[in-house]
Structure 1
C-alpha cells in the first residue's frame, strides 16, 4: 500500500541533509540544552516535516540548499524544533534509547514473566498498526528512528527521522519505503523487518544514510501541518 502520490523522486528535496557543523539551534530539554543541526544530527526532522508540508500544499519542493539565515533555512529549523516535540518527544527518544531490543523477562514461581517490553515489540505491536492505518488512508508518516543504545542524553542527536510513504508485506516480512533526507531523492530507500517474533530482538535491515549505525526500532512522530513561508 502507498500514500497517495508521495514519492521521494518527486516530492523530496533535491539536496541532502548536510549542513554546517555548528548547532543550528539549541533546544532546552529535560536533560539540559541540546544542540541540534550539527554534523551528527543534521536537520532530518525539519526536512521531513517540511517535505510533508510542501506535499500537502501541492508546492514544488525546493531544489537548492538554502544558506544559513535564508527564510527557507529558518523554516526547516523551525520544523526541526516542531518534530522533536519538546519535552515529550525528546523524552520518548531517550526512553527508547534506554530500552532493550527484545523483551526483558524473569522467572517467577517457575513461569516466565515479562518485566519490560523491548523496542522490537513496541515497534511491531504498538507503533506499526498506527503507522499502517495512516498509510492506508493515503498519508505519509514521519518516523522517529532509534539507532543507539545509550543513557547519555548527548547521544540523542544520533537518532534519525524519515518519512514513511509506502509498505509491502510478504507473510511476516515487512518492507517500509521511506524518504530519507540523508539519501535525497531516492525511491529505493527502505527499512525491512520480520514481524513474526516481536518479543525477541529483531534484526532490522535498511539502506538509510546512517553509516554503520543500526536501526533498533521506530515510532510514529505526531505531525501538525504548517504552511511553508
Structure 2
C-alpha cells in the first residue's frame, strides 16, 4: 500500500458500541469467555477488518452494520481470529498475571540473582523492537493491550486491541500512534513510554478503555483476509 494508514481515512466511521449480547463465546483453556458485549465491544475484529480494507485498497463501509449482515459477521469472525486460539488467549492470560515491572525471585546476601521479568520489560525490550521494525516499513501492526492485573479468566475480555500505524520519538520517549476503535477516527490517540526509564516503566495513553491503565502490549498475529460480500 502506498497510502499510509490513518484513522481519519481508513478507520471505521462508527465506534465500537454494539448490542448487549455477547457476539461470541470463546472456549478457552480456562473456560468459556464471552466477547463482544456492549461494554467490551468488538475491538479486535474492527482492528483486523479495518486493516483488511486497507490492504485491499478500499475504504471501510460508512455505516454500522446491523446484526445478521455479512459485515457484522465478518467483524465477529475477525474478532475470534484476532485472539488466535488457543495460544493467543493463553498469552493474554499469562501477561495479566505478571507483575508490572521486574521483581527478584532469589537473592543472595541481599543481591538479586534471579529476576522475574515484568510486563514493562517484555513490552519495551521484547515486543517494541519488532513492532517498530514493521512500522518503519509502513506496515501497520495490530497489538494486544493488557489493561488489568488478574488471574480471573472472565477478565480476559477487559483487555483491548488497537492498531499501531506510526510512532514519534523524543530522546528516550516513544509515542506509538494507534487506531483505537473505541475512539473512532481520531488521529491523536497514542501510547507513550520511555525506553530507558530511571525508575519503573509506566505507560501513558488516551485510549478509550474506561480509565483503565495500560500495563503493556504485544504484537498479535495477523493475515489479511478477503472482504465480505458487498464489501
TM-score, shorter chain, exceeding 0.5: yes
Shift of 1:40: 3.0
- Alignment partner, residue 202 of structure 2: 203
Aligned partner of 2:42 in structure 1 is 43
1:221 aligns with 2:213: no
Structure 1: where are the runs of 5+ without partners? none
RMSD: 1.4
CA distance in 2, matches of 1:125, 1:201: 14
Unpaired runs of 5+ in structure 2?
A: none
Instruction: Give the Cα–Cα distance (whole angstroms) in 1 for the partners of residues 170 and 183 of structure 2.
Output: 26
Contact 1:169–1:175 (CA under 8 A) maintained in structure 2: yes
CA shift in 2, pair 1:192/1:4, >3 Å = farther
The aligned runs of 1:51-62 (5 Å cut-off) are 51-62=50-61
- 1:150 — aligned with what? 150
Mapping of residues 156-167 of structure 1, within 5 Å: 156-167=156-167
How far 1:108 moved relative to its partner?
Answer: 2.0
Shift of 1:112: 1.6
Aligned length: 226
| Structure 2 counterpart of 1:9 | 8
Q: Which range moves more in the overlay, 57-66 or 106-115?
A: 106-115
Quote the offset at 1:114 in angstroms. Answer: 3.5
2: distance between equivalents of 1:175 and 1:12?
19
Matched, 1:67 2:62: no
The offset of 1:123, in angstroms, is: 0.3
SS, match of residue 60 in structure 1 = coil
DSSP 3-state at the match of 1:143: strand
CA distance in 1: counterparts of 2:200 and 2:22, whole angstroms: 34
Is the CA contact 1:16–1:182 (under 8 Å) kept in the aligned structure 2? Answer: yes
TM-score in terms of structure 1 length: 0.95
Structure 1 residue 195: Cα displacement: 1.4
Say which SS state the counterpart of residue 163 (structure 1) adopts. strand
2:39 and 2:29 mapped to 1: Cα distance? Answer: 20
Q: Which residue of 1 aligns with 2:128?
A: 128
Between the aligned partners of 2:108 and 2:189, the Cα distance in structure 1 is 44
8 Å contact 1:163–1:180 — kept in the other structure?
Answer: yes
- Spell out, residue by residue over 1:25-80, the C-alpha distance to the aligned partner (whole angstroms, 9 max, x if none): 11110011111101232100000000000000001111100011110000000000
- What is the rounded CA distance, in whole Å, between the counterparts of 1:21 and 1:212 in structure 2? 21
In structure 2, the residue matched to 1:89 is 88
Render the CA deviation track for 1:137-193: whole Å, top value 9, x for unaligned: 110000100000000000000000000000011111000000000000010001111
Calculate the TM-score normalised by the size of structure 2.
0.95
